[in-house]
Amino acid sequence: MLTSPEYINQYLFKDSIRCDWIEGSAIVSMSEIENVTVNRGQVLESVPGMSLKFSFLEENTSIYLITTYELIIAGDGVELKMKCEGFTATNQEFLIRIQQANLMLQKIKWLSEYS
């Protein structure tokens, strides 16, 4: 579900993302506003049903962020562990990123429970 095209654009990116999520594949976005295709990053590691690690170009910068998702069996359910690396930020920017990450995780939870 994390990489399903109909879900990923709901929780992660503002542009339409195209990727097969296989290790080594490019992550390409299609901006609906500008009608331009841009290489945004690359799948670094992919273990279906277990983990996903990818680089992605941060908006309006030349910085590639590294994001890792890991699914962990926990009791009667599954936990999602998310790790983001590679950005620098002021304290205020850091707090905003935490809020964004929490909203994203809430959206993933909602999609997994109600879709």
pLDDT of amino acid 45: 95
Query: Is residue 42 pLDDT above 90, yes or no?
Result: yes
Give the span between the Cα atoms of 26 and 42, in whole angstroms: 4
Average pLDDT, the chain: 82
What is the CATH architecture assignment of 5-114?
Answer: 2-Layer Sandwich (3.30)
Q: What is the token pair recorded at 66?
A: 């590294």
pLDDT of amino acid 43: 95
Domain residue limits, the chain: 5-114
The pLDDT-based confidence of 77 (bands split at 50, 70, 90) is: confident
The pLDDT-based confidence of 1 (bands split at 50, 70, 90) is: low
Question: Are 60 and 54 contacting, i.e. CB atoms less than 8 angstroms apart?
Answer: no
Give the span between the Cα atoms of 107 and 2, in whole angstroms: 11
* Local structure of 43: helix, strand or coil: strand
Q: What is the token pair recorded at 108?
A: 């993933």
